[in-house]
Chains A and B, each alone.
Chain A
Amino acid sequence: MARHNLGTVISFEVTRTFKKKQFWLTTLLVPVILGIVIALIVISNTTTESKVDSQKDATLRFTYSDASGRIDPTLAAAFGGTVAADEAQAVADVKSGKSAAYFAYPAKPTKQATMVYGADLGIFDNGKYSSVATKLMVASAQAEIGDQTLTGLARGSFQVDAITYKDGAVSGGFLGAVAPLLFLLIFYVVIVMLGNQMLTSTLEEKENRVTEMILTTLNPTTLITGKIISLFIIGIVQMVVFILPVLVGYLFFRTSLSLPDVDLSQLIVNPGQMVVGALLLIGGFTLFMGTLVAAGAIMPTAKEASQVFGIMMALVFVPLYAASLVVSDPHALIVQLFTFFPYSAPVTAMLRNGLGSLSPVESGIVIAELFILGGIVLRLAVQLFRYGSVEYSKKVSLRTVFARSRG
């Protein structure tokens, strides 16, 4: 059944948030910073690539000695090397600047260090001496083997794809966890970014002494439902704004940003996991938002209410301390406690759901628990708002509120 004036409340709350410069400044700050970072990375990578290209063209002139006998003189000459007649003199020539570099290959290169001497070119550019010395040895070894494939195999340059099964079907592994874990990401973004806004949003009626006028025009349940829905809409808009530069960066500057080429067609979407993830998100969101509304109704000012917000944030992040156990031993006592304790349940259960270690029975229990408790807390929050927020400057006790509601 449509609620009287629900649409008006949502429209007012969403519109006034979008009209605020502060909102857009805060919201756009993240993508702008991301955009700047991406631009800087792209620019610096382009510069580096040009530099590397120009250095590639400029051959390094060096001398070398080869006690191992593995260096191919033809390849060494092609790399810019000439054989050093005397090791000590070669080092002395580098010191005096007569020679750019000298490489001393030992008799047993796999057991002894290859010494590289060079003129100082700075922390980053000094690396090219080792790089050229290594490349020369690798190229000589490949030439000695005489088979590219064999060389590649010896270097471990080959791909391994794993297919695992669960309940007779292919299980997703990492790619299977990505989709359901998106719900956890949404939960964190919405709670962390909007939780405080929810708290102050209901406090606003109280602090502005507008509660009584509002309560004679609409039901408190409608007001609170409207505020929660509005915040959810605002949260989605913020997420889209945040994600936009990441998407642009991925689509157009993937190479410059050294981002992995993720083949989205490889993502495995398990409908069951997605439904469980969505229900955990909605249940957890309801529970946390209801609790924040209740706190807002009891506390006289935003400053005092912010203490409650701190506790709520701690409860959101505490399960992460046991994240390694959630992955490695989901049946550990602490993981079980976090799974079923209402305020740590959303994060823990969503994590386990993503990793595929939340059984259907556990899912059912946690979802039922979140929805039932979320409903109770929301009703309590409405009562607290109705009776607590007309107390204005006073901090209201639950006892007082229930005394008023019972009459």
Chain B
Amino acid sequence: MTSSLLTPSDTLDRQARPAAAARPDSEPLVHISNFRMDFGRTTVIRDLSFDINRGETFGFLGSNGSGKTTTIRALLGIYQATAGVLHINGRPFAPEDGARLGYLPEERGLYKKESVIDVMTYFGRLKGLSKAAAVAWSHEYLERVALGDKAKVRLDKLSGGQQQKVQLGVTIMNDPELLILDEPTKGFDPVNRKLLMDIIEDQKRAGATVLMVTHQMEEVERLCDRVVLLKNGEVEAYGTVEAVQDQYGGTVVRLQYSGEIPASRHYTVTRRESTYAELTVTAPVDEALILRELMDAGVIVRGFTAGRPSLDDIFVAVYGDQNTAGTDETAGE
């Protein structure tokens, strides 16, 4: 994937795009403060506040049913917030305001009975492109994702992976300044997962702000500048990935070993496999002391590294006591 796929094409009719009101770069692009969401007597979000700065990639994390999708729907005006402020570009989102938004919802699809080019052109027109620009952009995109010969084919005649490519194309039409991706890799095959990752990185390079909801912690560590962790309708942790890792403590020792790891007051074993283990350091001691302790106990150490806990570890630590089964975000609302 080249960056030209995702950067604005020369064929785009820029004059046709309604420009969002220019705002200082210092102001966050997304501002959520004291957001509360009740569904009848059920409170889904108690008090949520965070900002997303322009140009950053932001991870919105939480277990299933924690209210992530609800927050995004409220941010996009699909739900009406019970209380609080949810702003994009300094005001509540309204489609007619002309903010350039690319949204890939968790529940996603397109008009299956229509041709690829008709659907892409329709969304391009809805997003403010002229018809000619939308058609030209669509053809260019389809060529680059090897679907050039499928432009006139009905969507339901395409394979699942091909449909996903079209979906991604629709999401990034009109050069979005804010890209909201809700469980973006859900249901994607490895090829499209790679395409998506390329898209996100290209969008970042092009200066877009990206809001990602995902359970794939390695993607968050790789792509996100900052994250917020949502638990029980409130912020559990918020900041840069490193700051959140530091907040959750302690050093984690990753061990390649054989033998029996002894119990110790200096660490707890948080993960144990036959030849690999992770120990969370619980006392203010040097890692070398732990290594000596292990070797004294007869453990044969083949590999020893110490570092911050992974987001995966933190996720398990934070949500381990919650039932994260299921996929329907709104099921528990």
A residues touching B (Cβ–Cβ < 8 Å)?
Answer: 4-5, 8, 12, 15-16, 19, 204, 208-210, 212-219, 386-387, 390-392, 399-400, 403-407
Contact = CB atoms under 8 A, between A and B. Distances in A.
A399 B330 CA distance: 16
Contacts of B210: none
Interface stretch (B107-115, B221-229, B242-250, B286-294): B107-115
Interface in B252-283: none
A407 B127 contact: no
Given A216-B95, A216-B101, A217-B95, A407 B126 contact: no
10 contacts: A12-B122, A213-B103, A217-B95, A218-B96, A387-B78, A387-B79, A390-B107, A400-B40, A403-B40, A407-B80
Contact of B79 (A15, A19, A219, A404): A404
B29 interface: no
B122 A8 contact: yes
Contacts of A19: 118
A210 B107 CA distance: 8
Interface of B: 37-40, 73, 76-83, 93-96, 101, 103, 105, 107-112, 114, 118, 122-123, 125-127, 170-171, 330
Contacts of B37: 407
A272 to B, nearest CB: 40
B165 to A, nearest CB: 15
Contact of A215 (B76, B81, B127, B171): B76
The majority secondary structure among interface residues of chain A is: helix
A210 B80 CA distance: 20
Contacts of A213: 103, 105, 108, 110, 123, 170-171
A209 B163 CA distance: 13
B40 A390 contact: no
Contacts of A386: 78
Contacts of B107: 209, 212, 390, 392
Contacts of A390: 73, 78, 107
Contact of A407 (B79, B94, B96, B108): B79
B95 A407 contact: no
B39 A404 contact: yes
Given A219-B96, A404-B39, A407-B82, A212 B105 contact: yes
B108 A406 contact: no
Given A4-B96, A208-B111, A216-B101, A16 B73 contact: no
B38 A407 contact: yes
A208 B112 contact: yes
Contact of B95 (A16, A215, A400): A215
B78 to A, nearest CB: 5
B114 A399 contact: no
